[in-house]
Chain A
Amino acid sequence: MACNSATCNSSGCYKEYAEEQRQPTTRNNGSAAAQKNLCVKCKSNEPVCCGIAGDDARFCKDCFKTNLYGKFKQAVSYNALITPSDKVLVAFSGGPSSRVGLQFVHEMQCRAQNNYDASKDKSLPVFGVGVAFIDESSVHSFTSIEIEKAIEDIRSIVSNLSPPEKELYVVPSENIFSSDSIEGKEKLKKLVDGVSDVTGKEDLLVHLRMLALQKVASENGYTRVVLGTCTSRIACHVISATVKGQGYSLSADIQYVDSRWEIPVVLPLRDCPAQELNTLCSLDGLEIVELINGPCSSINGLVSSFVKVLQEENPSRECTIVRTAGKLTPFHFNRIPDIHDSNIPSATRKRLKRQSLNPNGSISSESFCPICNSPLNKSNFSSSLSNLESDQISTNFAAACCSSCQFQILPKDPSLMEQFVSLLPQPLIARAKRGDQGDFRLLREQIQDFLLSDGCMARHSQGDKLFLAIAMNPDQWLVPASVPCH
């Protein structure tokens, strides 16, 4: 898999680079000196700086932009991230990645609109676009002037992007509570302050932000949520998830599609490094709204500075990290659910169908951590089994969480824990309850090998698993003669 990046050119993907290098030099041997300062693609314009070292300037402005938009477009069309009948909600933070994401979605919509206007039968509708900004001022220490200025800027950015008209939703993050805003604000503050670990606090905020986005999207009838997550962010997530012990669920978070949520979340900028996005913003004069947060001492901060150092040493390191993680098996929910839309090109539909037939996509885990929504590993599950007898809500809730959330988010003290659970927004509690049912399905699956179906005996190898199964319900299980009985 080539990483197809303008800035990616050293040992991480040395094979592609070596080929790329050899070709131009052999072809242009004679006029190499004359062509040295021209764009490698169109060979007519001056290259511009791509953001790293001076000698990395290989594309001219137009080719650079086309290349980047091409990556976005390819991700969208290959995975059917946005189809004509969709209504997409772009999550806009004001930063460069989501700014480029918004710009590209807008450009795509403009093209679709032009095609629509030009076509006679008006068969392909134009997808709708909305923009959401989650205002987290209740948990961060921004002054009210700063936040008002930021919202004002965002309004002007979005209004400058029409036609077609885009609706902007400025949503305070306490919106996730059903209560009124002042009460919600206090609840949110209390909830976040209840987390002692710095990293845990940051991660909880990320989960709550997603909750807020989902709420806006579902209340206003959107069918996709577009995030501006870029390659660099994914690379950081790969390392930090590994460090937090979330190796199992890691592959769920880094795919183009994540339909764990009510409204599927898509990452069309997955193949674009942050550096290129920054460059595009400065080249095209895309306005950015930055709300500066203080220096963070969390694991996430440490990881991103580590990745930054590596990236400086080797400009393709981020691509390499994402490629490594891309080899991990995705989950069954990492694709767009039920594609029956006749508007999707048939080639894409066929490809997606093939993907869904892959054994990779088999449903292997049905229960999710109520806080971070990550799929739970089976070994995780069996450790929580012992806690199931307790009838306290908070203990049950804690037992349903993944070990990483248990460590970094949940309070250790039982009374604090009770308070924490009482403050959690309704969707998380509901997820925990659903998770309980999931546990049973998982248990069934785990002991499925020992079930007798259609008169034929299932084979198995692990005697102790069988033992568990017998203990659960002796009537349903039979012990084949070959099994050593303890």
Chain B
Amino acid sequence: MKNKISEIFRKFLNIFKPTKNKVVRSDDFEQTTYILDDTDKIQNGETIISVKNLEVQFRVRAKVLTAIRKVSVDIKKGETFAVVGESGSGKSVFTKTLVGMLEENGNVSGGQLLYAGVDLAQFVENKDWLKIRGKRISMIFQDPMTSLNPLKRIGFQVAEVIRIHRGLDKKSAKEEAIKLLERVGIKDARLRYRDFPFQYSGGMRQRVVIAIALACKPDILICDEPTTALDVTIQAQILELFKDLKDEFGFTIIFITHDLGVVAEIADRVAVMYAGQILELGTAEDIFYHSQHPYTWALLSSLPQLGRNDEDLFSIAGTPPSLIEDVKGDAFAPRNVHGMEIDYYKDSPLFKISETHYAKTWLLDPRAPKVKRPKIIDEIPERVAAIYTGGDL
């Protein structure tokens, strides 16, 4: 009788238990068969992620905000793909969509997100995502303090991922974790295994986060402003670490940042985003030396490191448009120095400039007036060199 009551009581309690965020154990993973076994067959340089006409919407107080407006891009295996833009341009939303980490009120409202032939946009349940997230696509966030659990020891947090995703036992997971921590450059990893996050410095914490992200040897590593919270010297070290690890582990990096200096340092290809669209896409050389879009020009010429004491910096007037209403025409038109009438009522297509280089501006239409890009962009190499050789040229 007593047992029965307690059983009913337990059942009753179970109703209130959250089922959504169920703890997933390693054996749950054994039962599911992977649809994605052929990702290893993709050769370097072939498309690993193909985004087609992606559209992401958020419901905000009975209104619809379109954060990503028809983005199409192919990301190749083994490359470092950087996404640049000011805040609110949708660069973070874009990468969050890739790992299914959109907030509750957001959803993919159109388009496809093909990862090795599987459409991730069709995923509904968290269970589907768990096969991808962390294991195939890992993510590193801006602030290492908020992505680590302050109450758990560093070693535990690294080993936990290895235990759950790779199914190792505690002891070998620990050995593996120490090896990883040493690889990302933590000295005396064995001694510091039982430290808490607050005992680590900012740069070291970010190294731990990188170790966790790499624990499952992911195909794709998404870095959302990983160095913004760090000092310049530490930032340089972390960027160097990314380059080394990329060669060793052979993953693809999707790098989000607003710092064009960092982009030049690390990226193979660059996408410039504005108001939920890709305005210019090309190799790093295309973007820094042959950019065609007025927005890219504006971003480059407003860089303080290129400024000289006696001249004012270029600054972009106005603010980004609200994405709650439908944006008519080109979203950048009101802030565009070279804006034309057509910008206000018709959105420009993505013009192809070369095999690798695309830009979305009416200026590239044969009927448009010829506009010269600002002088400062042609002077980038000289001005950068001047930083080391001293003041004025």
A and B interact physically:
no
